[in-house]
Structure 1
Amino acid sequence: MTSTSTSTSTSASASTAKSQRIRVGIIGAGEVTQVVHLPTLAYLFDRYVVTALCDVSAEAVAYSASKWGIARTYTSSAELVASPDVDLVLIANSDEYHVSCALDAARAGKHVFIEKPMALTHRQAQAVHDAAHQHGVKIYVGYMRRYAPAFDEFRRLLRDCGPIRHAIVKDIVGPNAFFVAQSATEPRKFVNDIPADAAEDKARLARDILVEALGDDRAASPRLAAVYRLLGSLGSHDLSFMREALGGPPTRCTSAFASHDGQFISAQFEYHGRRTTQASSADPKHEQQPPFSVLYTTGIHNVGVFESFLEVYTDDRILRIDIDTPYVKGLPLRVTVKENDERGIYSERIVRTSYKDAYTAQFEQLHDAITTGTDLKTTPADAAQDLVVFDMIMQKLEA
């Protein structure tokens, strides 16, 4: 760690702690930034102020900067991370550039928040993890579902159950455009002014990532390439959610299937030797978790529905948490509890803890972590576990 990095990091931390209002520079002015990040940060105006915005498309930057009153605009991410008016770099550009932008920001002494996937190879994930420690900054990953108030309630209820017998994870959804069109955010897409060499560079990086992750032969398969990218996008939400809810990554993947175009994936996992709760070991019900299986399926179609849930079966209770589209603000996650009451009569109840959306809860906790020096759970080390699960699935698929 150089003396320059240490000095910059200390300065950024001191400035953040003093002001309590975090100055955010966003890299990427695409759909998720326009529909989610800019509105959410504006609502949290007492905690955040967006001071800079960057995108390879100057038109995209100009549109969002004008709409949200952002003073500093860039088409170079290197210039944004060097800005003295930025405490936190929010990385929401194409997946291929997440790691390089995170490393640049960390070297500049800036805290970092990365939209998932953080990285798509183990080497890259390790580099991000190391950068946070080398430069004394916070780096977190945007698994917003895990910050939803309903998820905390789901986990609390699960801890009160007996051993898990079976679980189902499903995330089969319609196109983003269907939901975005009903979000009242009026995002715009700009592609005509993107330089040709930028598009070529992105394609090259995408190929390099696939080769590193899958090997030359398997990376050449359009089907396997599509599967891996789907796991990195939609799949990373589900698998991260599954990992925390069920106590970590699965022990192994016993089988997997992918459609001919790679847009639908199903897999079966086994969990072994997990405790169901952190309650006292004096409670024999929670002493040992027998092996159980998890069915996982994900995919994208053209129908305007968002069907995403995690359902857990125990002997005496069935718990399910349903997730709606994140592109329409204020749609709550809800927990369903199914069980027999003390009289043996079946009951079913819905638990809705809050209308606060997961992105808002995530950014509230991010602010607390940065200003108080505490930590969040979605660290680079945590995100790297997704890659282990990706590998389990990919190893079961034929080219």
Structure 2
Amino acid sequence: MRLGVIGLGLIAQAVHLQNLQTLREKYQVTHVCDLSPTLAAQVAAEHGGPIRHSTDAEAVLADPDVDAVLLLTPGTHAELTRKALRAGKHVLAEKPFAHTVAEARELDALATQKGLILQVGYMKMYDPIMPRARAELANIGTPRVVRVTVLHPADAPQFAHARFLRYGDADTSTLDGTYERDRALEAVGPIGEPFLSIYTDVLQGSVVHELSVLRALFGEPPLHIAHAQASGIVIGERLTEPPQLQALGTLGDTQLSLSWNWLPDYPEYGEEIAVFGSAGRLYLRMPGPYLRDSRAELVVESVRDGERASTRLISEHRTGFVHELLAFHASVTDGAPVLSTAAGSAYDTAALRQIARVLAAAHGVKPA
């Protein structure tokens, strides 16, 4: 598959470009694009092979030697996805995908209309341990409580091991941000700061992954958020750093507790999804996002033939990032169904919208 890569920042350099090299029997990178001309030229030269480089995404979308695009730019990817689909390109778009439910559904319909593959980059859904975790739910009885906990360190220690090139020659004059802000306001209403930036930066930027994991495990049962709270809230002011964010609700008939915590002074990332059932317990621990061979861990505690049993399973070395590229290739070339669809992301977005609005209401800000 001939691939164009748009956006050559951290996630491209630390993860995707290396994985594409590993999968070079399946992918040929033919065009790379970044606002920094120096970075685009260097990545093209170092990746190997005849690769075009540019600073304009439109040049990639117009390139006849590009079958599909990998969208790795900052912010949401809905507008660029729309342009890519209209240009006849298959799309794998990193998160955050879209700020509104309507836009996610619109793009899902557009991909279907065009006969193109649209896959959203929720790599945790593709972790090789996920099918086993989903199957093991049957061994713990009726789920009663789902507890999601994220311990988020400062960013720099998470990718200190990776080579990360940056130059000061990017022309950012064309970046406006109005479209993205308007879509966020459309999603959550005029709730003001800090709730709007919590929605765009924390919920859509990180918590969305937890929603995708829940969807991979449980499908799409009705999700209701009854309570939310966050640290450091001053009405009308953006937070100076990410918050400790807690949300309580229900996932179908199961109680849901979600805890996302900014803990900058300890460098290890932590993420656990715990499911407490009537007949057992399941603990799913996910790896840090920038570690190329860090492995997920699954622990299942249950009763078997009257005896208490505990099973510990470790994922293989190929991460969810690798498996999502393999899945994208299979969907484009063989028609395999897409797991992380844009329609599925609409479900996640609806839940994030609830959290933002419930959080605002808890602080006396009533969304329109």
TM-score by length of 2: 0.90
Structure 1: runs of 5 or more not aligned: 1-21, 273-290
Report if the CA contact (8 A) 1:249-1:385 is conserved.
Answer: no
Q: Is 2:325 aligned against 1:348?
A: no
Partner of 2:14: 35
Report if the CA contact (8 A) 1:148-1:358 is conserved.
Answer: yes
Report if the CA contact (8 A) 1:257-1:265 is conserved.
Answer: yes
How far apart are 1:348 and its partner, in Å? Answer: 3.0
How far apart are 1:248 and its partner, in Å? Answer: 1.5
Partner of 1:328: 291
Q: Is 2:119 aligned against 1:146?
A: no
Report the Cα distance in structure 2 between the residues aligned to 1:389 and 1:332, rounded to whole angstroms: 28
How far apart are 1:363 and its partner, in Å? Answer: 1.2
TM-score by length of 1: 0.83
Q: Is 2:236 aligned against 1:256?
A: no
Report if the CA contact (8 A) 1:227-1:265 is conserved.
Answer: no
Report the Cα distance in structure 2 between the residues aligned to 1:124 and 1:301, rounded to whole angstroms: 33
Tell me, what secondary structure is at the counterpart of 2:148? strand
The 1:104/1:228 distance shift into structure 2, 3 A limit, reads closer
Q: Is 2:45 aligned against 1:66?
A: yes
State which drifts further: 312-321 or 22-31: 312-321
Alignment match of 2:248 (pick from 256, 264, 268)? 268
Report if the CA contact (8 A) 1:210-1:225 is conserved.
Answer: no
Report the Cα distance in structure 2 between the residues aligned to 1:143 and 1:114, rounded to whole angstroms: 9
How far apart are 1:341 and its partner, in Å? Answer: 4.7
User: Equivalent pairs: percent with the same residue?
Assistant: 27
Amino acid at match of 1:326: P
Alignment match of 2:101 (pick from 115, 122, 130)? 122
* 1:231-287 deviations in Å (ceiling 9; x for gaps): 111111111111221232543111111222353221012133xxxxxxxxxxxxxxx
Kindly report which structure 2 residues correspond to 1:228-247, keeping only aligned pairs within 5 A, or say none.
Answer: 228-247=200-219
How far apart are 1:343 and its partner, in Å? Answer: 5.1
Report the Cα distance in structure 1 between the residues aligned to 2:163 and 2:200, rounded to whole angstroms: 30
Report if the CA contact (8 A) 2:198-2:356 is conserved.
Answer: no
Tell me, what secondary structure is at the counterpart of 1:141? strand
Alignment match of 1:91 (pick from 68, 71, 78)? 71
* 1:138-194 deviations in Å (ceiling 9; x for gaps): 111011111111111100111333110111111222123212112xx411123x222
Q: Is 2:196 aligned against 1:187?
A: no
Report the Cα distance in structure 1 between the residues aligned to 2:103 and 2:245, rounded to whole angstroms: 25
Report if the CA contact (8 A) 1:30-1:60 is conserved.
Answer: no
* 1:48-72 deviations in Å (ceiling 9; x for gaps): 1111111112122123222212610
Amino acid at match of 1:81: L
Count of matched residue positions in the alignment of Structure 1 and Structure 2: 351
Tell me, what secondary structure is at the counterpart of 1:95? coil
Report the Cα distance in structure 1 between the residues aligned to 2:221 and 2:93, rounded to whole angstroms: 21
The 1:196/1:102 distance shift into structure 2, 3 A limit, reads closer
Partner of 1:8: none
Partner of 1:283: none
Report if the CA contact (8 A) 2:287-2:295 is conserved.
Answer: yes
Partner of 2:235: none
Report if the CA contact (8 A) 2:140-2:302 is conserved.
Answer: no
How far apart are 1:114 and its partner, in Å? Answer: 0.5
Report the Cα distance in structure 1 between the residues aligned to 2:82 and 2:23, rounded to whole angstroms: 27
Structure 2: runs of 5 or more not aligned: 233-238
Higher percent of residues as helix: 1
Alignment match of 1:357 (pick from 319, 332, 336)? 319
Report if the CA contact (8 A) 2:195-2:359 is conserved.
Answer: no
Amino acid at match of 2:284: I
* 1:195-232 deviations in Å (ceiling 9; x for gaps): 24234x13x3343233222223x1x3134422442111
